[in-house]
Amino acid sequence: MNLFILVLFFMLFSGILFYIFNFNHLLMMLLGLEYLLLILSLLFLLNLMSFIKQY
In a domain, 51, yes or no: yes
Among 37, 34, 47, CA closest to 4: 47
pLDDT of residue 7: 79
Question: What H or E segment, with its residue span, contains residue 32?
Answer: helix 25-54
CA–CA separation, 22 and 30 (whole Å):
12
In a domain, 41, yes or no: yes
In a domain, 47, yes or no: yes
Rounded to two decimals, the pTM is 0.42
Per-chain mean pLDDT for the chain: 75
Domain membership of residue 31 as a residue range: 20-55
Average pLDDT score over residue span 2-27:
72
In a domain, 34, yes or no: yes
Q: What is the pLDDT of residues 33-55, one digit of tens each?
A: 778 788 888 888 888 888 878 76
The domain total for the chain is 1
In a domain, 15, yes or no: no
pLDDT of residue 20: 65
